Amino acid sequence: MKMNKNFTAIDLFAGCGGLSEGLRQAGFNVIAAVEINKYAAETYAANHKETLVFDEDIRKFNLKQINEMLNGETLYLLAGCPPCQGFSSMRRLNRKEPVDDPRNDLILEYLRFVKELMPLTLMMENVPSIINYDLFKYVVKELKARGYNIDFEVVNVSKYGVPQRRKRFVMVGSRIGEIKVSPGNDERRTVRDVIGDLESAYNSSDPVHRIFPKHNTRIEELISKIPKNGGSRTDLPEEFVLECHKRENVGFRDVYGRLRWDDVSSTITGGCLNPSKGRFLHPEENRCISAREASLLQTFPSDYIFPLHIPKASLALMIGNALPPMFSKIQSSNIFTHIEEYFRP
């Protein structure tokens, strides 16, 4: 096989394109992506115009379409983030077993693509707790049986230049040699580094930066009483404590909490545009972070396109569910170098 810098990749369960953005920055040519959610697929297509996006259920996807695209050529990387929500710690709470969720089986679709396409390398990202479940162990066994060297770890993306506290599972595989999960670069970036110089969301020229929730007078006054730069609802005067928070051991303590300028943010989740869902208040202004701020904390480029007609809840969900592009870039660059070294004369 000849050296080829046009290393092709396919992104499964592509979401709005966080993983693919990292793949592209690392040098991969992402030729196809599969994503069932119409808003996420639309956002992906707006930002990755050279990639063919299949907006359909992966369980009904006919791989003949991909084989025709490849036309006998090697697929260098198959990447994907199967949405195994039933394995999530937020869904399981105190349970050891996964929640019975049909999406748990979607990891088998990733395996189906591997079996059919036999890419040179693999990358898969997921929630940390997937590592404990039988279905994941079965997939690893099947991959190894097909000649893949496999490595996986649970890592914190804050070790990879992502200004966010977020633990993720990542698996890499190769059938051309030993490969390891990239350990990261230990670059620490803070909330201030990423959003500190933004113009105020109240009069921004960026319409995505102007997307944040508006509240009734009572909640607005409550937010104004929360101390700047890291305060939370536990700092509120008694008369401003919501009734639902007065009972013992109820709710998450981070809700209605402010981010801290000189620290990483809390995990950007699908509730990132709702201060009642977590620590998503701006460090200084009396508002929730904006959609643009949330996407920047996820390390999307500042000009990443988010269609404005998308419902706010759907926009928050796609941003929160995305793999941070910076994390994807570092893992993808590691794989790119691995492939280069194999083909080097």
Q: Which DSSP symbol is given to 329?
A: H
Looking at the chain, list the stretches that DSSP marks H as alpha helix, in order from N- to C-terminal side: 18-26, 38-47, 64-70, 89-92, 107-117, 134-145, 191-195, 217-225, 291-297, 312-321, 325-343
Q: Which helix (H) or strand (E) holds 283?
A: none
Q: Which two tokens stand for residue 66?
A: 């991909």
Q: Which two tokens stand for residue 196?
A: 């500190």
Alpha carbon distances (Å) from 139 to 81, 167, 222, 283: 14, 21, 49, 43
Distance CA 191, CA 162 (A): 10
- Catalytic annotation, residues: 84
Q: Which residues contact 124 (CB under 8 A, 6 or more apart)?
A: 79, 80, 81, 82, 110, 170, 171
Distance CA 231, CA 159 (A): 25
Using alpha carbons only, give the angle 137, 139, 144 rounded to the nearest 5 degrees. Answer: 95
Sheet holding 8-12, edge to edge: 52-54, 29-34, 8-12, 77-80, 121-126, 167-174, 149-156
Per-residue buried b or exposed e for 139-150, using 16+ beta carbons within 10 Å of the residue's own CB: bbeebeeeebbb
Give the total residue count for the chain.
Answer: 345
